[in-house]
A and B are shown apart, each in its own frame.
Chain A
Amino acid sequence: MKHRYLPMTEQDQKEMLETIGVSSIDELFSDIPEKVRFQGLYNIKEAKSEAALAKELTALAAKNADTTNNVSFLGAGVYNHYKPVIVDHVISRSEFYTAYTPYQPEISQGELQAIFEFQTMIAELTGMDLANSSMYDGGTALAEAGMLAAGHTKRKKLLVSGTVHPEYKDVVTTYAYGQSIEVVTVPTKDGVTDMEALKGLIDDQTAAVIVQYPNFYGQIEDLKTIGEITHDQKGLFIVSANPLALGVLTPPGKLGADIVAGDAQPFGIAENFGGPHCGFFAVTTKLMRKVPGRLVGETVDQEGRRGYVLTLQAREQHIRRDKATSNICSNQALLALAASVAMTALGKEGMREMAKQNIMKTRYAKNAFEAAGFPVAFQGAHFNEIVVKTNKSVTEINKGLLEKGIIGGFDLGRVDPEMANHALIAVTELRTKEEIDALVAEMGALQ
């Protein structure tokens, strides 16, 4: 058959079969027993030409309400941020995106160096000693952090704050079940971790305490105190952090964190309907040899030139098999590259400015909601999200907003019945004052 991806010609086929010494391709499959042989063709849609398929899928994509033609206030872990245009130009270079894991360093120095730079940027932002080359996403990175803690402390209990992203907590719970680790939720008070409850729950069997910074409700947790409570019991302190917020917030590394996990999606990565995003994983030096996934290290070649290699591989599945620190193999290297480009573009100044704009615009929105008579549920310090109380279903309100070209906040009732009629509103640097005013006005009109 002729196809633009298949260079085989009839002449090629003839010559190749001759070299092999068989008369047909079918003979090469003679080792598949008759009984399991699939006959005929798959019952799937017929092939389409390039142009026809592009047309069809363009129409399918257009069925979705996107965050470019609409104004989005939806966050809850995935955010609509400024994406420097160069990000896509860099990750579209096929030397990067069509390469495999850099197992052959002599022809993979570009990828290896880019990852080394990513590791450095994440370590800088989180205030940790080192970071790995990426994880699938923030949720699985957090779960791996919990597993690392249980292995390291030889304890079987994780305390997860009730203010951690509910989907992240669910993922931690699934992983924990596999390892027979108990997951206990720490109650919430005023939108942050309840300290007294935490003190009551923690004991010498606690492997780790897991909190989010800023937390699911956009509030800033008191990491320093939680870290101290955790370390008093010799547990590990795990922080799931929004890396953009660390442009202005004190990094968890300075507040006692042993592991910082999270998602670098705010850095140049599209919402992508939830993935691919870019998990990251940063630790203190004492945990270096327990880190899951790939690490790139600096070394020299035979002539003494600086170069980069995958290192400390004795932790990994392809060497250690059932004794590996994790089963992770593929990671999110291309997204780590995207995040690196965005972090580089923002740079030292831009990271702080963008983070600050998120805080200021969210503060403006909070004041605007309150001025319009909407109670804002939690009054602690926030980053780029606030919880607004409505007097009717958020999902219903959002239907009305969409008619005005606005994608409303997350309906917290979807994950917690007690939080019905509460909208989690995200305000990033991309939202203008006019858009925020319009959101408040439309929500006022709809309820």
Chain B
Amino acid sequence: MSHENQPLIFELTKEGRVGYNLEPLDVPEVDLEELLPAGYIREEAAELPEVSELDIMRHYTALSRRNHGVDSGFYPLGSCTMKYNPKINENVARYNGFANIHPLQDEETVQGAMELLYDLQQSLVEITGMDEVTLQPAAGAHGEWTALMMIRAFHEANGEGHRNKVIVPDSAHGTNPASATVAGFETITVKSNEDGLVDLEDLRRVVGEDTAALMLTNPNTLGLFEENILEMAEIIHSVGGKVYYDGANLNAVMSKARPGDMGFDCVHLNLHKTFTGPHGGGGPGSGPVGVKADLIPYLPKPVLVKTEEGKYHFDYKRPQSIGRVKPYYGNFGINVRAYTYIRTMGPDGLKAVTEYAVLNANYMMRRLEEYFDLPYNRHCKHEFVLSGRRQKKLGVRTLDIAKRLLDFGYHPPTVYFPLNVEEGIMIEPTETESKETLDAFCDAMIQIAKEAEATPEIVQEAPHTTVISRLDETRAARTPVLRYTKQA
């Protein structure tokens, strides 16, 4: 990584430099005053950079050298499925006939794109065991909200608009309760039991005639399969609620168990996790939603269908639809990448993906269990959660362990999540990492565990090798500086 501090692009500016080139105007130019009303012509130009093309490339190349991606090194960030992002996906998404088509072109002129989307929908129907899929939601949280809005519409259509409670486990992703709020529901938390699974007694206690839905990740955020899933679904269904599958952890169960066969009524997937859409530094994602038959009428508009003549068509005639959740048809470019991936893997490949992801996680868990506390000691699925409480007693916090891993060139695991594990360290290796990589990471973790005992200050003061040391986050929040301002 580059240790050179990189100035802001605004600090590299020199008046008069340009980095663009437009064709000279080939139509008459008139004064803007003649065309725009008084008061609507910008007086001061926006303070944008003035730099040459090489300046721009050097700037962003320097920034890229201060950033860690999956291609830079191992990225075992639990719950985020940081697997390899295949390069053919990037090429296909840039094909002229995919990248340079307009969403409002006549359907006749974009049948190729619609065919791809339809085929992706059908593949996801099979993978999830649902009856229909919409590709519109832009990301996982957007998918959660979309599905909850459909559940709400379903209850209202059945004269049960009073159902205003969504149940989420205490180990759930933060987006679950947040999405429930945005969809107009109140959240009720259900406890986990000592095995790390949803406490059935507590679930029975919180359900009632106001239950709209249960949101569940399976395997859960501890990486454990909710064995009682059928019983849980039955508890919810028996009071008239719907069961929602948060597909963030689908990488753990492909070809092993489908949400549609586990009693779930709807599901969202994160195509940027399981299906290799790159994370892009935070986005874009794609969060398709699959539903069982009784929720189909409420799918967001438009619904992509195949006509009897074999044409693809966006159907807007959906009177019970929740409406539109996004302009146009979703993050098409990410859907193209996911489709390319599914076609690259095929049925055998997707099965192997899950098997190797789970094998890798269990292997690492067993290599590390001697050195860190393992609160839930059973086979995990695609990820597992260690506790740093043993190290905490030595004065070394999980945050310190995470920072120390940076010195070894690794992106740290997810830390302090899920909330029901003290000093949690959540590790998800994925299937695209080799045994050598897993071993080297485990060796680093073991070394850090030993350092915590012998030389804790090395861990407490980490990182030692990064381009910057720990940052003052309190200052950032107390006196926010959210933009550059040109000095007069």
Contacts and interface: CB of A to CB of B under 8 A. Distances in A.
Interface in B382-420: 402-403, 406, 411-412, 417
Contacts of B327: 77, 137-140, 165, 167-168, 171, 274-275
Interface stretch (B204-212, B236-244, B282-290, B451-459): B282-290
A249 B46 CA distance: 11
A31 B227 contact: yes
Interface in B25-71: 25-30, 32, 35-37, 39-43, 45-51, 53, 56-57, 59-71
Ranked nearest first, the 8 interchain pairs of A and B with the lowest CB-CB distance are A274-B328, A47-B346, A61-B97, A63-B112, A334-B280, A274-B103, A110-B67, A333-B282
B174 A318 contact: yes
A196 interface: no
Interface in A207-236: 220, 222, 224
Contacts of A323: 181
B443 to A, nearest CB: 14
Nearest to A1: B352
B206 to A, nearest CB: 15
Interface in B298-324: 300-301, 322-324
B281 A111 contact: yes
Given A82-B20, A108-B68, 5 more contacts: A74-B102, A84-B20, A113-B66, A167-B327, A248-B42
Contact of B127 (A42, A77, A175): A42
Interface string A59-84: 01111111111001010111010101
A118 to B, nearest CB: 10
Interface string A350-363: 11111011011101
B158 interface: no
Interface string A308-319: 110111101111
A348 B50 contact: yes
A291 B331 CA distance: 23
Could you say which interface size class chain A belongs to?
Answer: 35 or more
A36 B254 CA distance: 13
A65 B278 CA distance: 27
25 contacts: A25-B359, A32-B227, A37-B257, A47-B343, A64-B112, A66-B100, A86-B57, A94-B69, A97-B90, A99-B69, A106-B466, A110-B66, A111-B281, A116-B8, A119-B482, A294-B282, A302-B472, A305-B469, A311-B476, A314-B477, A329-B139, A333-B281, A344-B9, A344-B51, A363-B35
Contacts of B67: 95-96, 99, 102, 107-111
Nearest to A298: B481
Contacts of A121: 46, 48
A200 interface: no
A297 interface: yes
Nearest to A173: B323
A178 B184 contact: yes
A373 interface: no
Interface in B326-357: 326-334, 340, 342-353, 355-356
Contacts of B366: 19-21
Nearest to A220: B40
A249 B39 CA distance: 9
A399 to B, nearest CB: 7
Nearest to B138: A136
Nearest to B69: A98
A12 B431 CA distance: 12
Interface in A301-341: 301-303, 305-309, 311-314, 316-324, 326-335, 337, 341
A109 B468 CA distance: 8
Nearest to A368: B27
A437 B325 CA distance: 38
A53 B343 contact: yes
B256 A329 contact: no
Interface in A1-59: 1, 3, 5-9, 12-13, 15-17, 19-22, 25, 27-33, 35-38, 40-48, 50, 53-54, 56-58
A391 interface: no
Interface in B83-127: 83-86, 88, 90-92, 94-106, 108-113, 115-116, 119, 123, 126-127
Contacts of B417: 318
A228 to B, nearest CB: 13
Interface stretch (A122-130, A152-160, A438-446): A122-130
A80 B109 CA distance: 17
A345 B53 contact: yes
A309 B47 contact: no
Given A95-B64, A224-B39, A273-B101, A42 B255 contact: yes
Given A121-B46, A363-B30, A47 B406 contact: no
A171 B326 contact: yes
A50 B88 contact: yes
Contacts of A167: 324, 327-328
A61 B326 contact: no
B230 A36 contact: yes
Contact of A272 (B75, B324, B333): B333
Given A276-B334, A327-B179, A351-B48, A307 B468 contact: yes
Contacts of A345: 19-20, 53, 56
Contacts of A296: 482
B149 A177 contact: yes
A65 B328 contact: no
A194 interface: no
A203 interface: no
Contacts of B355: 25
A124 B10 CA distance: 12
A433 interface: yes
B473 A19 contact: no
B45 A273 contact: no
Nearest to A70: B109
A78 B342 CA distance: 29
Contacts of A62: 97, 112
Contact of B283 (A20, A37, A334, A359): A334
Contact of A327 (B86, B102, B175, B255): B175
A250 interface: yes
A346 B113 CA distance: 31
A92 interface: yes
A261 interface: no
B91 A36 contact: no
A95 B18 contact: no
A133 interface: yes
A241 interface: no
Contact of A359 (B35, B145, B180): B35
A331 to B, nearest CB: 4
A50 to B, nearest CB: 6
A125 B42 CA distance: 10
Contact of B183 (A44, A77, A178, A273): A178
A41 B350 CA distance: 9
B378 interface: yes
Given A123-B483, A140-B142, A347-B19, A334 B281 contact: yes
Contacts of A7: 432-435
B66 to A, nearest CB: 4
Given A136-B142, A224-B39, A429-B22, A90 B57 contact: yes
B379 A319 contact: no
A275 B330 CA distance: 6
A188 interface: no
Interface string B232-261: 000000000000000000000111111001
